[in-house]
Structure 1
């Protein structure tokens, strides 16, 4: 597998309930929208990029990448966003990341490739907990995911367990996986990164 075999899928289609219902991709952090931080961290590391969004579509399109909406309405969660990305991608692999994790490791793609081995799914782990929405997934799993969603499955972990999967250790960059769910999270992450000397 090379970087050209991967489509980067940025999930920006949620409801942002804990942020007051705003479109989280456009929340400003350290001078830029969250979606811009994520795209910048991973720029040039994948063969193609897709943005999964269900609101403010024209704004996302102005970022210069294809924008896909969920295949079904009613905000059915990240698994629906993942299915939409797997269905739209033309590469054999899809790297899924959320739009609210602005400090992602700049070597995320390389390390996921190097450590997936013979698995169909690799999930980032920060040394204390897994981050299921940051995962490298074989595109061929799209049909199985479609069937799982049709049967009512909404839990990412349970769907992963249907397949051969592994964790990828990022315990040396635990802060990089901090996601911003509340206004307080924005302040806390900026302060912690400053103390840590990270960029």
Structure 2
């Protein structure tokens, strides 16, 4: 049993990937697997259950055997709409789950203790929200959200709010910090150069895991 409340894991894959020339960034391949598969493998063990937020033809994500949930507000208003869709889905389908943890679908190196540390940070700071941070950057879509704020979020979106951080400031949030070296665990892939850099990180990381497995000295 996890040492924190039951949490729904959500992979956000509703972006338009303009800097990659369109298409679905999470379906790009890294080390023989899609980015989506890397994210799912890291997030799933941390959560009670998991869903994917995406729009358009949902059959393209059929390789991942989890529910795919579309935005409930039209015209691609951004990641806040994906968070709202997840909160509303949890309230309807998983009423015993009161927390949602979101991660972008293009962040293949998310920490394996992400949900644990987000809950710990939120609890220590007595705030309703907690997001991840590395180096000098806060990652507003890698965040822990209470399901009971879904009505306020819907109202804000319908009133025109789009920036995730603007909505978070209205309610109060804290950050859980990770080091950005030897690589940033929240490295996200926006351009072809980023994908090449991620491949380099993956190859070095895999080599470290393999060497440590022989000695028992490293846990990814």
TM-score, length-normalised on structure 2? Answer: 0.84
CA displacement at 1:56 relative to structure 2 = 3.9
Please say if residues 122 and 135 of structure 1, whose CA atoms lie closer than 8 Å, have aligned partners that are also in contact. yes
Rate the CA distance shift 1:193–1:175 in 2: closer, same or farther, 3 A: farther
CA radius of gyration, larger in: 2
Structure 2 unaligned segments of length 5 or more: list them: 210-219
Q: 2: distance between equivalents of 1:28 and 1:56?
A: 20
CA displacement at 1:193 relative to structure 2 = 4.9
**1:29 partnered with 2:38:** no
Residues paired across the two proteins, number: 199
Q: 2: distance between equivalents of 1:69 and 1:171?
A: 33
CA displacement at 1:2 relative to structure 2 = 4.7
Please say if residues 35 and 106 of structure 2, whose CA atoms lie closer than 8 Å, have aligned partners that are also in contact. yes
Task: Please identify runs of 4+ aligned residues in structure 1 that moved more than 6 A.
Answer: none
SS at match of 1:162: helix
Please say if residues 107 and 186 of structure 2, whose CA atoms lie closer than 8 Å, have aligned partners that are also in contact. yes
**1:113 partnered with 2:119:** yes
The corresponding residue for 2:68 is 67
**1:190 partnered with 2:199:** yes
What do residues 59-95 of structure 1 show as CA deviations (whole Å, max 9, x unaligned)?
3244111110011222110011011011101310000
Please say if residues 68 and 84 of structure 1, whose CA atoms lie closer than 8 Å, have aligned partners that are also in contact. yes
Q: 2: distance between equivalents of 1:156 and 1:114?
A: 21
Q: 1: distance between equivalents of 2:102 and 2:197?
A: 25
SS at match of 1:176: coil
CA displacement at 1:106 relative to structure 2 = 1.1
**1:175 partnered with 2:148:** no
* Structure-to-structure mapping, 1:35-50, within 5 angstroms: 35-50=36-51
What do residues 113-163 of structure 1 show as CA deviations (whole Å, max 9, x unaligned)?
222112111010002110001000111110111111011000111100011
**1:78 partnered with 2:76:** no
**1:53 partnered with 2:54:** yes
TM-score, length-normalised on structure 1? Answer: 0.92
Q: 1: distance between equivalents of 2:135 and 2:165?
A: 17
**1:100 partnered with 2:106:** yes
Please say if residues 42 and 111 of structure 2, whose CA atoms lie closer than 8 Å, have aligned partners that are also in contact. yes
* Structure-to-structure mapping, 1:101-180, within 5 angstroms: 101-117=107-123, 118-171=126-179, 175-180=184-189
What is the root-mean-square deviation in Å for CA atoms of aligned residues?
Answer: 1.9
CA displacement at 1:194 relative to structure 2 = 4.3
